[in-house]
Amino acid sequence: MSASALRKSPFPDVRRVVTGHNPAGQATILEDALQPATSWGGFDTANPKYDLHYTGRVPALVDSELSSKDGYGRWVDEMKAHSSDVYAKEGALFRVSDFAPGSTTPVHRTESLDYGMVAKGSIVLVLEDGKQVTLGEGDTIIQRATMHSWRNESGEWARIYFVGLGAKPVVLVDGRELKEEWRSE
């Protein structure tokens, strides 16, 4: 789905400033640009997201502009190859999600540890056991690979900043593993 099919968020596109180093080791700006809204793809095509950063490993490699085959100044933006990934299996991902009034995401679990902060509006976190919590501006969530969905019950848009870290599956007392799962309910 093209970005033109997305719901139009009232929030501005997200500006991303990426720093790095020149060959002498001095700090420099590698990129300073607005990130366009993109689609989530098959499971939530209407709400826009803004892909900010992806690294496929931790500790992260932070010198691609110095060591890339293309030579100095070619920062390798791993996000471009991973925009459709919901989380980074062995690394970290930084993303912004906008939620339209009345929208609900599918119930899901990812094998990740996610840190979220509500920047604008309010959003309801709905858990598998039926518990719900409304989060407002400035509230944070530490999402530890649990089944959940997001619901915007307000008449206003909401914006959440997320950092996701790849995690091992949850192992229950009986030895079963809780892996990535998506439900259509």
**At 37, which CATH number?**
2.60.120.10
- The domain in which residue 66 lies consists of 3-182
Helix (H) or strand (E) holding 65: helix 64-67
Q: Are 166 and 92 in contact (CB under 8 A)?
A: yes
pLDDT value for 41: 66
Can you tell me the distance from the alpha carbon of 132 to that of 122, in angstroms, rounded to the nearest whole number? 13
Torsion of CA 37, 43, 44, 46, to 10 degrees: 80
Q: Are 111 and 93 in contact (CB under 8 A)?
A: no
Phi, psi torsion values for 161, nearest 5 degrees:
-95, 130
- Sheet (strand 158-166) strand order: 49-55, 92-99, 158-166, 112-120, 140-144
pLDDT value for 1: 38
Mind listing the pLDDT tens digit of every residue in the chain (185 residues)?
Answer: 344 467 889 999 999 999 999 888 899 999 999 999 988 765 656 789 999 999 999 999 898 888 756 555 578 888 888 887 888 889 999 999 999 999 999 999 999 999 999 999 999 999 999 999 999 999 999 999 999 999 999 999 999 999 999 999 999 999 999 999 988 86
Who contacts 165 (Cβ-Cβ below 8 Å, separation ≥6)? Answer: 58, 88, 91, 92, 112, 113, 114
pLDDT value for 33: 96
pLDDT value for 75: 83
Pairing of strands 181-182, 108-109: antiparallel
pLDDT value for 3: 42
pLDDT value for 70: 53
Q: How many domains does the chain have?
A: 1
pLDDT value for 10: 94
